[in-house]
């Protein structure tokens, strides 16, 4: 029997997680939402209660053709005719359980490290539960938090074994991190076959909806290369599509939701308006729940971060991730303070960013390669060679399966496979505040209207932005940074208007 491990529900009957809900109803709703296998886990109840509840759950899972496994209690599994058991390291040994339940039973084993994984696999387990991935209050006695890196190590070791065994990751997995868990744990070729969750479904007020959100995320794990991206390898192919995308932006006038710093609010809103987008400057995360559904994009700019704002960012991330709304992350001054370094970690572990835009210092910090204290939030001079810059952008994009734009005198744009250097722009951009931040706003607007190839969307945004800067600097009425700002807004506005007439003369300036 081929078992689908992709969304594995582990039950919990404690007040803290189940609350006053009825467990069989929760399980049935979760299956309707997309759960493919259920484990009845109850560490407290007596045998009679276990059998009563186990029978009820089994009636439901059978109706939906989903296997039911019992945690730890082999006798209970046998008594209720469950499809198998899940054994922790402190439970009955695999061989004894197999002898009792027979070759047809599904027997899963928890593995927290390499040796446990190897022993269970060679001992004939049907699947492994690998964890604890992230810290979780659900299970107090977790031995160690192994992270996705730990999962990856175990999968790598398993790939060298003769037996192939399905795996599920467990521990602190929820809608915000499920995709990261799935793609980051990928070893050489194969990742986990599924994720097991307790609280993400059982503690939710609507277990069907909670399961459906997870189901959707699992089925749509982002890949580096969309089919469309594969066609867009050549620079000329990419550039030829830019005018149509600029035009589409004007026609759709997408919502551009900015959660940005105190310094650039006004300029960012003006830039968004000039390029034809519809800005909203909303820093209160709860608002994102309404805004995320409007088809726009979110700019998450962590300049002037505070505890309140950080909480708002994570709330907003979740809201956008849930509906697949694009998010651009601007880790302003990421390496400047301990607070910001931690904020980066919090944000990166809370969800998925479609684009990360930053200067070299910021990208390094996000990668975890910080070179020590950064002075201010301005970009500073870079001493790295071109090859090193390409490596930074490419490595982060490949790791995150997203698009990275590393800005500087030359900008590097990468999706981990395709990497381009862009040499447009003007020195005045370095003499005004918020030029990097409002580039983020621009690119986010483009992400909202062109989802097929995010790298191309980002390319359209940066070219429009930097070429407008060149045009503005060349104007007679622009004499320095002060007159540059209004001239720049004018040029963005004129370019947006040009695009609607299918005139893309400006694109010839792309370098």
Task: Please report, as ranges, the residues that interact with ligand 3NM according to CB under 6 A.
Answer: 10, 110, 129, 131-132, 136, 138-139, 142, 170-173, 197-200
Q: Closest distance between Mg ion and the C-beta of residue 4, in Å?
A: 22
Closest to ligand 3NM by CB, 131 or 425: 131
Q: Residue 498 and residue 461: Cα distance in Å, rounded?
A: 15
State the binding partner of 207 from ligand 3NM, Mg ion, none, CB within 5 to 8 A by kind.
none
DSSP state of 428: G
CB closer to Mg ion, 72 vs 360: 72
Query: Which runs of E-coded beta strand occur in 11-72?
Result: 37-40, 68-71
88 binds Mg ion (CB under 5 A): yes
> Of 132 and 379, which has the nearer Cβ to ligand 3NM?
132
Minimum distance between the CB of residue 91 and Mg ion, rounded to whole angstroms?
5
Instruction: Write out the two tokens for 352.
Output: 């998925």
> Which distant-in-sequence residues (6+ apart) come within 8 Å of 48 by Cβ?
none
Omega before 354 within 30 of 0, i.e. cis: no
- Binding mask 41-80 toward Mg ion (x if CB under 5 A, else -) reads -------------------------------x--------
**How far, in Å, CA of 226 to CA of 467, rounded?**
28
Minimum gap (Å) between residue 71 Cβ and ligand 3NM: 8
Q: Which among ligand 3NM, Mg ion, none contacts residue 418 (Cβ within 5 to 8 A by kind)?
A: none
* Structural tokens at position 246: 């600029």
Residue number with CB closer to Mg ion (43 or 375): 43
- Closer residue to Mg ion in complex, CB, 57/245: 57
CA atoms of 491 and 274, how far apart (whole Å): 8
Q: Judged by CB, which is closer to Mg ion: 95, or 237? A: 95
Residue 198 binding: pick among ligand 3NM, Mg ion, none (C-beta 5-8 Å cut-off by kind): ligand 3NM
User: Could you tell me the smallest distance in angstroms from the CB atom of residue 87 to ligand 3NM?
Assistant: 11
Closest alpha carbon to 54 in 72, 68, 43: 68
Least distance in angstroms from the C-beta of 88 to Mg ion:
3
Strands (E), 17-142: 37-40, 68-71, 84-87, 106-111, 127-130
**Closest separation in Å from C-beta 42 to ligand 3NM:** 11
Which partner from the list ligand 3NM, Mg ion, none does 276 bind, CB cut-off 5 to 8 Å by kind?
Answer: none
Contact, 389 vs 422, CB < 8 A?
no
Q: How far is the CB of 116 from Mg ion (least distance, A)?
A: 13
Residue 138 interacts with which of Mg ion, ligand 3NM, none, CB < 5 to 8 Å by class:
ligand 3NM
Which residues, including other chains, have CB under 8 Å from residue 108's CB and lie 6 or more apart?
Answer: 39, 69, 84, 85, 86, 87, 125, 126, 127, 128, 129, 168
Complex with Mg ion: residue 110 or 258, whichever CB lies closer:
110
User: How far is Cα 423 from Cα 166, in angstroms, rounded to an integer?
Assistant: 47
Q: Which one of ligand 3NM, Mg ion, none interacts with residue 333, CB within 5 to 8 A by kind? A: none
Task: Give 11 or 232: the residue with its C-beta nearer to ligand 3NM.
Answer: 11
Q: Can 256 be counted among the known catalytic residues?
A: no
Part of the chain binding Mg ion (CB under 5 A), chosen from 26-34, 83-91, 344-352, 363-371: 83-91
**Angle, alpha carbons 412-266-465 (nearest 5°):** 30
Options 437, 473, 485, 499, the catalytic residue: 437
Q: In residues, how long is the chain?
A: 511
Residue nearest to Mg ion (CB): 88
Nearest alpha carbon to residue 329 among 339, 107, 337, 345: 345
In the complex, least distance from residue 41 CB atom to Mg ion, rounded to whole angstroms: 7
Site mask for Mg ion (CB under 5 A), range 464-503, x = bound: ----------------------------------------
Of residues 50, 114, 117, 119, the one with CA closest to residue 85: 50
Shortest distance in whole angstroms from residue 150 CB to Mg ion = 19
Residue 200 interacts, among ligand 3NM, Mg ion, none and using kind-specific CB cut-offs from 5 to 8 Å, with: ligand 3NM
137 Cβ partners below 8 Å, 6+ apart? 16, 199
What does the buried/exposed string (b/e) look like for 337-373 if buried means 16 or more CB atoms within 10 Å of the residue's CB? eeebbebbeebbebbbbbbbbbbbbbbbbbbeebeee
Please tell me the distance from the alpha carbon of residue 397 to that of residue 414, in angstroms, as a whole number. Answer: 6
CB 194 within 8 A of CB 36: yes
Q: Which lies closer to ligand 3NM via its Cβ, residue 43 or residue 63?
A: 43
Pick one of ligand 3NM, Mg ion, none as the site partner of residue 285 (Cβ within 5 to 8 A by kind): none
Asked if 222 interacts with Mg ion (CB under 5 A), we say: no
Which partner from the list ligand 3NM, Mg ion, none does 172 bind, CB cut-off 5 to 8 Å by kind? ligand 3NM
Give the pairing type, strands 411-414 and 37-40: unpaired
Positions touching Mg ion (CB under 5 A) are 72, 88
Q: Which residues are known to be catalytic?
A: 437
């Amino acid at each position: 029997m081929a078992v689908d491990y992709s969304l594995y529900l582990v039950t919990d009957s404690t007040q803290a997680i189940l609350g006053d809900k009825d467990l069989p109803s929760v399980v049935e709703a979760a299956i309707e939402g997309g759960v493919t296998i259920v484990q009845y886990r109850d560490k407290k109840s007596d045998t009679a209660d276990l059998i009563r509840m186990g029978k009820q759950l089994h009636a439901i899972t059978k109706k939906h053709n989903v296997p039911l496994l019992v945690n730890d209690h082999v006798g209970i599994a046998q008594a209720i005719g469950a499809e198998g058991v899940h054994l922790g390291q402190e439970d009955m040994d695999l061989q004894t359980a197999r002898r009792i339940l027979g070759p047809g039973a599904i027997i899963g084993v928890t593995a927290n490290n390499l040796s446990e994984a190897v022993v269970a696999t060679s001992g004939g387990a049907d699947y492994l539960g690998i964890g604890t991935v992230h810290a979780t209050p659900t299970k107090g006695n977790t031995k160690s938090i192994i992270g996705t890196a730990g999962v990856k190590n175990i999968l790598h070791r398993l790939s060298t074994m003769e037996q192939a065994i399905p795996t599920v990751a467990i521990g602190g997995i929820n809608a915000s991190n499920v995709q990261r868990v799935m793609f980051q744990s990928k070893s050489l070729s194969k990742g986990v076959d599924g994720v097991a969750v307790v609280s993400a479904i059982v503690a939710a007020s609507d277990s069907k909806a909670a399961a459906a959100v997870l189901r959707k995320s699992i089925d749509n794990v982002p890949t580096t290369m969309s089919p469309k991206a594969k066609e867009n390898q050549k620079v000329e192919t990419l550039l030829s599509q830019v005018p149509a995308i600029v035009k589409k932006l004007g026609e759709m006038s997408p919502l551009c939701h900015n959660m940005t710093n105190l310094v650039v609010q006004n300029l960012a809103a003006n830039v968004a308006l000039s390029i034809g987008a519809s800005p909203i400057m909303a820093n209160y995360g709860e608002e994102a729940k309404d805004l995320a559904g409007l088809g726009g994009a979110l700019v998450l700019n962590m300049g002037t971060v505070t505890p309140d704002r950080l909480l708002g960012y994570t709330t907003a991330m979740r809201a956008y991730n849930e509906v697949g709304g694009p998010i651009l992350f601007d880790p302003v001054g990421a390496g400047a303070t301990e607070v910001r370094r931690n904020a980066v970690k919090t944000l990166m572990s809370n969800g998925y960013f479609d684009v990360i835009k930053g200067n070299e210092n910021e990208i390094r910090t996000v990668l975890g390669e910080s070179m020590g204290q950064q002075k201010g939030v301005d970009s500073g001079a870079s001493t790295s060679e071109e090859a090193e810059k390409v490596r930074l952008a490419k490595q982060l994009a490949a790791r995150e399966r997203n698009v990275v734009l590393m800005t500087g005198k030359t900008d590097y744009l990468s999706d981990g496979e395709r990497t381009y250097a862009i040499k447009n722009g003007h020195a005045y951009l370095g003499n005004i505040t918020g030029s990097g931040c409002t580039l983020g706003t621009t690119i986010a607007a483009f992400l909202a209207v062109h989802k097929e190839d995010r790298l191309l969307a980002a390319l359209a945004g940066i070219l429009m932005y930097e070429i407008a800067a060149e045009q503005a600097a060349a104007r007679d009425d622009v004499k320095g940074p002060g007159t540059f700002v209004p001239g720049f807004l004018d040029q963005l506005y004129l370019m947006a208007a040009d695009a609607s007439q299918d005139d893309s003369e400006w694109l010839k300036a792309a370098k």
